[in-house]
Structure 1
Amino acid sequence: MKLLQPFRTIQAKLIIMVLLLILIALQLIGVYFISTMKSSLINSFTSGLNDQARLLTVLAASEIPKQDNAGNVEEGTSVYLSQLVGSLFGSSGTETQVLDSSGRVLATSLEEHQSYVGRKNTSLLVSRALQGISDNSEEIIDSDNIRKKVIAKPVMSGDKIVGAVYIVASMKDLYVTVERVNRIFVTGMLLALGMTALLGILIAGTITQPIKALTRQVAAVAEGRFEERVPVLGNDEIGQLSTAFNDMTDRLSEALSVNEEEKEKLASILANMSDGVLATDEIGRVIVANRRARTMLGLDDIEGKTVSETLDIDKQPVAEALQGTESQLLLQRSLGEDEDPLVFRVTLTPIRRRDKGVVGSIAVLQDVTESEKLEESRREFVANVSHELRTPLTTIKSYAEALDDGALEEPPLAERFVGVIRSETERMIRLVTDLLHLSRFDSRQAPVRRQQTDMAEMMEEVVDRFSLQLRQKAITVKVQVEPDLQKAWLDRDGIDQVLDNLVSNAIKYTLDGGSISLSARLNEAGQLAVAVRDTGIGIPKKDLGRIFDRFYRVDKARSRSMGGTGLGLSIAREIVRAHGGTISLESEPGVGTTVTVMLPPAQEGSEHP
């Protein structure tokens, strides 16, 4: 196959085709020419022999009849005939015999065949000639492999056949001439083929060189190199093809540039979408997945899997999408034991192509975890508010009805009922006040008014405000402020409220004789760290994650009996967040609880919130 490789090029095919056409044409011409020439030479040779034979029959017609009484030819006649055939054919190498009516040789032109005189020539042609048939000729090949022409003609004397003329002429010179002409023709044909091959190479080159240039340009375009151009060498068909190809290269370059730009835009959009996207083929296998989808599903190798396998859902919605029906699913996926489950909405949409119908589907994964949490929080908040308001309102209604039914007539009982109504009313006022406070934080309508605050003085004032409750439960309090920490730039009223809530909770859940410590210091990052530590009953580990949620109580009955609304820690967190800080809680049941507030450093005139 490698040997045939060079002959598969267009140039080789064109040259071979032209050579074959020339060769066939020359062969046809040669065969016709040589055949015609050969026939002409043979006819001319035969015609010459016939003329000579007819001349000899005329000359011999008057001599053959001269015979003696025994039927032998006279000696003078025999000598004459010998001289006659010798003078006519002796020099040409042609053997000529004159025969009498019986077929005996009277004279021959060859000296070496003089012994034939007097013998009878038994040739078939002689027999036919003696029978009066004048058109007798044939070609023979002698023992020396020489082709010869044989002619026999009758000799007529009046109407009587008196003898015959027998001529054997060599055709060697004729065929030598034909062979020479054949060699000349073959030589000329070879020269013509050589010239034709040379011209064919030149002509084929004018065709194949532009094609090779086009081939190189096609390879360059296939590799993404559009700057090269095909040379236009004329205005013929190949030149027009080169021009058209250059135009096509320019348009293809522009189209690919636009396509690449759109592809990059699409890839950037997909990579930075907040929603996950999975694109499938016509049988539901994932062919494209963006980064967000991999993060949401916790998978790296998604391509090649089916959507139902990737999302761990039933195959029916995917099959419906591939049939042209859009559908939505709400899925929940757990990413880890310590992490909250991820909730996302999956929208399955078919991909349609104008000429092929549905060729795949798009699965859009929208993270609705936060919205679901917010919705759950909203429902829980409404339920909690309703519950918190319903309890005191029910109590107030009951005691008001009791007063209306006659309790006013008994002053001690009426006074106690009025006290309960007053207490429940104050409780509702505190609840509404806390809700309004939280609402202002949610709507960002609670500005932070920073001022230079003496931390030691502020913490001592907090302890003084709770001195009565501390003495009642025999709780000892310790305040520690680093010596280097003199004043801090913060909202005094807001941080006061945070500390009040934290100290109030510490007192509530610390048993009699316990201790509470308040500390303030600067950490390595320059942040203000304020901590409230108690030796109370502590908080179970399962409740630590929700301790700052609104209305969340660890011991609901005890908290409500102590007058708490379940909003204190939520308000504290919002105030700390408004300062740009964080609040954290560590607790161990039976040991105590530590709440730490971290506030970023801020100076007067700074842009910190």
Structure 2
Amino acid sequence: MNLLRMFRSIQIKLIFIMLLLILIAVQLIGVYFISTMKNSLIDSFTNNLDSQASLLTSYSAQVLTQEDKNEDPKSGVSEKLNGMVSSLNSLNGAEIQVLDAGGRVLSTSKTSEQTVVGRKNTSLLVTRALQGIRDNEEEIIDEDNVRKKVIAMPVSSNNKIVGAVYIVASMRDLYETVEGINRIFYTAILIALGLTAILGVLLAGTITAPIKALTRQAAAVAEGRFDQRVPVFGNDEIGHLSVAFNDMTDRLSEALRINEEETEKLASILSNMSDGVLATDELGRVIVMNRRARILLGKQEMEGRTLSEALGTGKEPIADTLKGQESSLMLRQEAGEDGEEPLFRVTLTPIRRRDKGVAGAIAVIQDVTEFEKLEQSRREFVANVSHELRTPLTTIKSYAEALDDGAMDERSLAERFVGVIRSETERMIRLVNDLLHLSRFDSGRVLLRRQQTVISDMLEEVVDRFSFQLRQKAITATVRVEPNVESVWLDRDGIDQVLDNLVSNAIKYTLDGGTISLTAARNDSGQLELCVQDTGIGIPKKDLARIFDRFYRVDKARSRNMGGTGLGLSIAQEIVRAHGGTVALDSEMGAGTSVTVLLPIVQEGSEPA
């Protein structure tokens, strides 16, 4: 495996390519050179033999045409030819035979084969030569596996074939020379390949070193490390690539930094949004859920679940959204520990991509519980105001019409009708004044005018103002001020209005002969604690949560008959809040009611509400 991986290296590939190119080039050159040289040597060898054969044929023609009648002609011819053949054989070591016109051997260069003299040479080349064909040559391999060159050339005189010359020359030396040149060539090839391999390693290293550096930098970038740089080794293509890669690394680092900042911003925005946000993929599975959504839905881990499961709704609106339609729906959750049923508005918006269509959906969850409560309060407020104004206006209209119809002529009846009209008018004036008072608190235009107030005197004066009503119902009122409370800085008129409202309600709902106590003390937190407690009929538990709502009455008929507008406790609460305090009410049916006002103690001055 390691060897296979090594051969996959670009450096090894470059070295092999260079070696292969050199080997192919040298082989082509060697084949051409050796082939040319071999052909040249063979041609030279053949030409030399042809020259010798031509010389011998000329000499043999002269010898064979001589006529000596006094002696044996064949004996003289053989002697002359043997001398010539022996001299030529000493020059090149070839086997030479001179034949007569019949093909019989007259002379041979080999002394060991003199027995062939007088015998006929049946070679095809000899036959062709005796027929006058001059171009007779061939290469043969003998029994000893030696390559030889054979030439047969006719001997003619006066256009008459008188004999032939037959030459057989060994080509051993020629081919040994060629083989020696081949060995030299192969040695040169091996040396050239070795040098090429060494140079290839060096040259390939100059190419692969920058590539390896680029590979290391690419791996570092993939791991998120952008501080490294690729070294630039030159101004060539790889150098330009290194510069471009470093520039790409810088841009990628900057892009990732900006992307991370945007991601952090988005995560921070999602985490701190007052609305819940859920994002899904194209299949409707939740992939993002912010903290507010977990709080609103009461579910911690919903990633991977479907949006319909997370919201607890049907699948139809989710499916429509994933098809590209925007929609919204209302969700009412189960009542919590406080008995309140949360109401959510869910807005579904598809996520669109240019190339994929709808890639998911965004669900924005808004808690509209308080908004619904405010809307309900507003509707109730308008209805209550309309009702409170309609009743006295109807009464005034009725009595005015009665007076217009003739009741004015009867003095006693007219005075009673006028008294009712005056009473209802005063009731409307009180209602309007209370509404104006609440409006100033709502708009923040109330300015507290603090003054140093003796608490005991303030409580005594409250009891004095209601002494007539207390005597009418035989109610006993007591005032108790702790020693640690003497005088404080507060808005005397505002607190008087608060106490008047609390004492008035206590008198209204306390039976004859009951008791009302007013106490003042400093609690453990250093706040002024004013408490109005009665032994009245009490307030039902179900009404305690709304007792400070505007126009809210426990017993609506009785409260209206007593002249109440239903705004007294609301105004009292707003005045206490303007002082930075709180109002708490505790009541039990048939046992009485206790209202506690906590006010921070300040030294002096005044500040706007």
| Shared fold (TM-score, shorter chain, > 0.5) | yes
What is the DSSP-based 3-state SS (H/G/I as helix, E as strand, rest coil) of the residue aligned with 2:584? strand
Structure 2 residue aligned with 1:147: 147
Structure 1 residue aligned with 2:531: 531
Which amino acid in 2 is paired with 1:524? D
Q: Separation in 2 of the partners of 1:597 and 1:553?
A: 21
Q: Separation in 1 of the partners of 2:432 and 2:464?
A: 27
Structure 2 residue aligned with 1:58: 58
What is the DSSP-based 3-state SS (H/G/I as helix, E as strand, rest coil) of the residue aligned with 2:603? coil
Which amino acid in 2 is paired with 1:139? E
Going from structure 1 to structure 2, the CA distance change for 1:461 and 1:132 (only over 3 Å counts) comes to same
After TM superposition, the structure 1 = structure 2 runs for residues 534-549 of structure 1, keeping only pairs within 5 Å, are 534-549=534-549
Alpha-carbon deviations, 1:254-283, whole Å to 9, x = none?
Answer: 555555555554554444444445556666
Identity %: 72
What's the offset of the Cα at 1:217?
A: 4.7
Q: Separation in 1 of the partners of 2:26 and 2:314?
A: 80
Q: Separation in 1 of the partners of 2:355 and 2:472?
A: 86
What's the offset of the Cα at 1:387?
A: 0.9
Structure 1 residue aligned with 2:586: 586
Q: Separation in 1 of the partners of 2:335 and 2:57?
A: 130
Q: Separation in 2 of the partners of 1:385 and 1:454?
A: 38
After TM superposition, the structure 1 = structure 2 runs for residues 61-460 of structure 1, keeping only pairs within 5 Å, are 61-63=61-63, 74-75=74-75, 77-90=77-90, 92-223=92-223, 228-250=228-250, 257-258=257-258, 260-278=260-278, 289-301=289-301, 310-311=310-311, 329=329, 331-333=331-333, 336-338=336-338, 340-347=340-347, 363-403=363-403, 405=405, 417=417, 419-460=419-460
Q: Separation in 2 of the partners of 1:111 and 1:466?
A: 176
Which amino acid in 2 is paired with 1:385? V
Going from structure 1 to structure 2, the CA distance change for 1:111 and 1:603 (only over 3 Å counts) comes to farther
Going from structure 1 to structure 2, the CA distance change for 1:93 and 1:342 (only over 3 Å counts) comes to farther
What is the DSSP-based 3-state SS (H/G/I as helix, E as strand, rest coil) of the residue aligned with 1:3? helix
What is the DSSP-based 3-state SS (H/G/I as helix, E as strand, rest coil) of the residue aligned with 1:140? strand
Which amino acid in 2 is paired with 1:176? E
Alpha-carbon deviations, 1:208-227, whole Å to 9, x = none?
Answer: 44444444555555555555
Which amino acid in 2 is paired with 1:508? K
Q: Separation in 1 of the partners of 2:442 and 2:84?
A: 152
What's the offset of the Cα at 1:545?
A: 2.2
Q: Separation in 2 of the partners of 1:61 and 1:473?
A: 185
What's the offset of the Cα at 1:577?
A: 0.8
Contact 1:455 1:520 in 2 (8 A): yes
What's the offset of the Cα at 1:584?
A: 2.5
Going from structure 1 to structure 2, the CA distance change for 1:133 and 1:473 (only over 3 Å counts) comes to same
Give structure 2 stretches of 5+ with no counterpart.
none
Q: Separation in 2 of the partners of 1:529 and 1:608?
A: 22
Q: Separation in 1 of the partners of 2:97 and 2:592?
A: 159
What's the offset of the Cα at 1:470?
A: 4.9
User: How many residues are matched?
Assistant: 607
Structure 2 residue aligned with 1:522: 522
Structure 2 residue aligned with 1:597: 597
Alpha-carbon deviations, 1:298-325, whole Å to 9, x = none?
Answer: 4444555665665556666666666766
Going from structure 1 to structure 2, the CA distance change for 1:523 and 1:47 (only over 3 Å counts) comes to farther
Structure 1 residue aligned with 2:496: 496
What's the offset of the Cα at 1:380?
A: 0.9
What's the offset of the Cα at 1:249?
A: 4.9
What's the offset of the Cα at 1:381?
A: 0.7
Contact 1:67 1:74 in 2 (8 A): no
Going from structure 1 to structure 2, the CA distance change for 1:103 and 1:527 (only over 3 Å counts) comes to farther
What's the offset of the Cα at 1:340?
A: 3.7
Q: Separation in 1 of the partners of 2:22 and 2:431?
A: 114
What's the offset of the Cα at 1:377?
A: 1.7
Comparing 299-308 with 534-543, greater Cα deviation is found at 299-308
Comparing 560-569 with 85-94, greater Cα deviation is found at 85-94
Alpha-carbon deviations, 1:137-159, whole Å to 9, x = none?
Answer: 22222333322222233344544
What's the offset of the Cα at 1:83?
A: 4.3
Q: Separation in 2 of the partners of 1:168 and 1:594?
A: 151
Q: Separation in 1 of the partners of 2:509 and 2:85?
A: 166
After TM superposition, the structure 1 = structure 2 runs for residues 558-577 of structure 1, keeping only pairs within 5 Å, are 558-577=558-577
Which amino acid in 1 is paired with 2:88? L
Contact 1:298 1:335 in 2 (8 A): no
Which amino acid in 2 is paired with 1:133? I
Contact 1:286 1:306 in 2 (8 A): yes
Q: Separation in 1 of the partners of 2:29 and 2:404?
A: 143
Contact 2:331 2:343 in 1 (8 A): yes
Q: Separation in 2 of the partners of 1:365 and 1:56?
A: 123
Alpha-carbon deviations, 1:330-353, whole Å to 9, x = none?
Answer: 555557353644445555556666
Contact 1:66 1:74 in 2 (8 A): no
Contact 1:57 1:154 in 2 (8 A): yes
What is the DSSP-based 3-state SS (H/G/I as helix, E as strand, rest coil) of the residue aligned with 1:546? coil
Comparing 597-606 with 384-393, greater Cα deviation is found at 597-606
Q: Separation in 1 of the partners of 2:120 and 2:587?
A: 156
Q: Separation in 1 of the partners of 2:553 and 2:73?
A: 169
Structure 2 residue aligned with 1:3: 3
Contact 2:448 2:608 in 1 (8 A): no
Comparing 87-96 with 72-81, greater Cα deviation is found at 72-81
What's the offset of the Cα at 1:328?
A: 5.2
Alpha-carbon deviations, 1:184-237, whole Å to 9, x = none?
Answer: 222223333344444444444444444444445555555555555555555544
Structure 1 residue aligned with 2:48: 48
Q: Separation in 2 of the partners of 1:526 and 1:222?
A: 64
CA RMSD of superposed structures (Å): 4.1
Q: TM-score, normalised by structure 2?
A: 0.83
Q: TM-score, normalised by structure 1?
A: 0.83
Structure 2 residue aligned with 1:506: 506
Alpha-carbon deviations, 1:25-63, whole Å to 9, x = none?
Answer: 222221111111111111211222222233333334455
Q: Separation in 2 of the partners of 1:68 and 1:594?
A: 182
Q: Separation in 2 of the partners of 1:509 and 1:42?
A: 147
What is the DSSP-based 3-state SS (H/G/I as helix, E as strand, rest coil) of the residue aligned with 2:594? strand
Which amino acid in 1 is paired with 2:374? L
Comparing 445-454 with 8-17, greater Cα deviation is found at 8-17
Comparing 390-399 with 116-125, greater Cα deviation is found at 116-125
Q: Separation in 1 of the partners of 2:66 and 2:478?
A: 184
What is the DSSP-based 3-state SS (H/G/I as helix, E as strand, rest coil) of the residue aligned with 2:549? coil
What's the offset of the Cα at 1:78?
A: 4.0
Q: Separation in 1 of the partners of 2:503 and 2:587?
A: 15
Alpha-carbon deviations, 1:412-456, whole Å to 9, x = none?
Answer: 666655554444344333323322221221122332222333334
What's the offset of the Cα at 1:166?
A: 3.0
Alpha-carbon deviations, 1:336-386, whole Å to 9, x = none?
Answer: 353644445555556666787776665555554444333322221111011
Structure 1 residue aligned with 2:29: 29
Going from structure 1 to structure 2, the CA distance change for 1:55 and 1:605 (only over 3 Å counts) comes to same
